[in-house]
Structure 1
Amino acid sequence: MSVSRRAVGRPRAVSRPSSGLSPREEILAAAGELFTVRGYAATSTREIAERAGIRQASMYHYFGGKEEILASLLESTVRPSLETARTLGDASAPPEARLWALCYQDARLLCTGTHNLGALYLLPEAERVTGFQDLRAELKDAYDDLLARTAAASALPDDERTARSRLVFSLVEGVILIRRDNPGLDPDGTAGATANAALRVGGVPERDLPRLARLGRGLLDAA
């Protein structure tokens, strides 16, 4: 898990127009761009600091190094969806609608932002970021739990239900590759199509999807 440091009192290396971001956020934005465009291994902390407009020594006031920056970026792609999953776990709506809402929110998160941070999942270094992997495992368990509660999946043998849950989770994360090949895709449209496809994989009848989508959107709007 990444450790945040107090963001106070460090001068910038160069004068830049105000972006409204804190220095820590500037570092993350700069690293996100460089990691996804140039590559993690090919990016140095000096380059991150220069892009963020701060001195390299000042960067270490906020992060312990490049690995900690990567951890923060990776965790930012999971935490919001995990928070949504926790909220949906206590909702009174049908589990199918809650699963739709989680798939939609998760896919939309991976489709938004200036840079395709989800592509960082493909880095070999991501396997060593234990905080991120723990959060992702918890999110995967939330998918398992919601799918297991649906009428279609509850009657399935355990191994088939697990396989379907893994397929649903992989389908949602598949938007990372779709975005890589189609940078200008519409987040809302892509998220809605992904959530519908995920429920089909989970065994939900096609005729039920419009109703479940309406209920799912209502859950997200109320969150």
Structure 2
Amino acid sequence: MSTYAPAGVTRPGRPRVIPHAASVAAPRDEILQAAAELFVNRGYAATSTRDIAEKVGIRQASLYYHFAGKPGILAELLELSVRPSLDQVERIEGECPADLPEAALYLLALIDADTLATVPHNIGRLYRMPDVRSSEVFGEFQPALRELVAAYGRLGAAVISGPVAATVSVDQLGGLLVQVVEVVIRIRARGDEVTRADARAIAATCLRVCGVRDGRIALAAAAADELMPMFATDARSRGAGG
């Protein structure tokens, strides 16, 4: 059983060791930002709570007013890499035209690409790192990851062509589609910006993996473009704290 504090539980903080006069972020969010940078660049196992506290400019003891320990910080960061997309799946299915199911998959890919492109310090890399994958926290994160794969598989199965359906299962399809979108992580790891054109190409590629023809992809893109501003605004408002 994990001992980390659940996301959203905060306690009163103590004064900083090093004041950050220009900072407007809440201490909990600054801890997440600092931990994200350290975990990605130095490694989860190689980073201590003291390292995180020093980077934020607070005493190590103060960090424990916000998180029970390093596993709790990792758990919240992992959730940030998938939860904004997962939280939109049901709404995507409800808002997209029933006679154009391709739009739902295209829109999910756009939202997911946007999530991975905007999370701090490319934290989508975390669940690929060996020291994270071997942690207890990763085991508790896997259901959310499987849920995302299942959502992609379900939306992909609704538009898949006969020849493609004959070669992959729904679970395999979901995994393939997630991997297509995760190219965002590799783009960011190179130091490049993920552009709107990149996101659109990734979404279109998801449909091509399913065997969707170009004409239907164009229709899906147009429908998704109409809906995306509403979803993007909602996703950013929910994720503003991270």
Distance, in Å, in 2 between the alignment partners of 1:90 and 1:194 is: 22
TM-score (norm 2): 0.83
Shift in Å, 1:178: 2.6
| Partner amino acid, structure 2, of 1:152 | S
Q: 1:167 aligns with which of 167, 172, 176?
A: 176
TM-score (norm 1): 0.90
> Is 1:24 equivalent to 2:32 in the alignment?
no
Q: CA offsets, 1:32-71, max 9 Å, x none?
A: 1111122222211111001111110010111111111111
| Partner amino acid, structure 2, of 1:124 | P
The aligned counterpart of 1:211 is: 219
Identity %: 40
Q: 1:190 aligns with which of 189, 195, 198?
A: 198
Distance, in Å, in 1 between the alignment partners of 2:16 and 2:121 is: 24
**Aligned length, in residue pairs:** 222
> Is 1:126 equivalent to 2:132 in the alignment?
yes
Shift in Å, 1:20: 1.4
Q: Is the 8 A contact 2:36 2:123 kept in 1?
A: yes
Distance, in Å, in 1 between the alignment partners of 2:96 and 2:189 is: 36
Shift in Å, 1:10: 1.8
Distance, in Å, in 1 between the alignment partners of 2:24 and 2:93 is: 35
Distance, in Å, in 2 between the alignment partners of 1:10 and 1:103 is: 41
Find the residue that maps to 1:14 and give its secondary structure.
Answer: coil
| Partner amino acid, structure 2, of 1:195 | A
Shift in Å, 1:113: 3.8
Q: Is the 8 A contact 1:103 1:198 kept in 2?
A: yes
1:62/1:110 Cα in 2 relative to 1: closer, same or farther (>3 Å)? same
Identify the range of structure 1 (115-124 vs 163-172) with the bigger mean alpha-carbon deviation: 163-172
Distance, in Å, in 2 between the alignment partners of 1:8 and 1:32 is: 22
Structure 1 segments unaligned to the other structure (5+ residues): none
| Partner amino acid, structure 1, of 2:58 | I
Distance, in Å, in 1 between the alignment partners of 2:226 and 2:10 is: 38
> Is 1:199 equivalent to 2:202 in the alignment?
no
Find the residue that maps to 1:220 and give its secondary structure.
Answer: helix
Find the residue that maps to 2:10 and give its secondary structure.
Answer: coil
Distance, in Å, in 1 between the alignment partners of 2:162 and 2:150 is: 15
The aligned counterpart of 1:72 is: 76
Q: CA offsets, 1:184-207, max 9 Å, x none?
A: 223422211111111111111123
Structure 2 segments unaligned to the other structure (5+ residues): 232-242
Q: Cα RMSD between the aligned structures?
A: 2.2
The aligned counterpart of 1:85 is: 89
1:141/1:52 Cα in 2 relative to 1: closer, same or farther (>3 Å)? same
The aligned counterpart of 1:40 is: 44
Shift in Å, 1:157: 4.0
Shift in Å, 1:160: 4.3
> Is 1:3 equivalent to 2:6 in the alignment?
yes
| Partner amino acid, structure 2, of 1:105 | I
Shift in Å, 1:171: 1.0
Distance, in Å, in 1 between the alignment partners of 2:209 and 2:219 is: 17
Distance, in Å, in 2 between the alignment partners of 1:211 and 1:84 is: 21
Matches within 5 A, 1:94-105: 94-105=100-111
Find the residue that maps to 2:58 and give its secondary structure.
Answer: coil
Distance, in Å, in 1 between the alignment partners of 2:156 and 2:96 is: 15
Distance, in Å, in 2 between the alignment partners of 1:41 and 1:205 is: 46
